[in-house]
Amino acid sequence: METIEFEYPATKRLPNRAHVGVVSSGDLEVLIEPGSSNCARVRIRTSIPGYQETWRAIFERFFLKHNIAAIIEINDAGATPGRVALRLEQALEASEE
């Protein structure tokens, strides 16, 4: 297992916590909750090592679109970048309900 952490500046508050997805072969779960500061913190636990730059690109794109101060935890079992982006959008939508 590899653990990757990122931090991004952010100003918009996330309304609620949310949990989407499941950890299984080729998938991932996303846990998202409001942050207490003006930044977003991301922690990824993945079974596929060596993809830190791919993860960085996914989150840079996500935070350019969504300027949310949140704590995001991802448990990954080999999801593709497209699946990661989908789960992040689902988590954001679920937090707004």
Residue range 16-69, pLDDT digits in tens? 999 999 988 778 999 999 988 899 999 999 999 999 999 999 999 999 999 999
The pLDDT of residue 80 is 93
Query: Token pair of 80, please?
Result: 């593709």
CB atoms within 10 A of CB 14: 22
What domains are there in the chain, each with its CATH number?
2-95 (3.30.230)
H-type alpha helices, the chain: 52-65, 81-95
Q: Which single residue is written with the structure tokens 């448990």?
A: 75
Task: Note the pLDDT tens digit of each residue in 69-83.
Answer: 999 999 999 999 999
**Measured between alpha carbons, how far is 36 from 71 in angstroms, rounded to an integer?**
9
d(CA 60, CA 26): 22
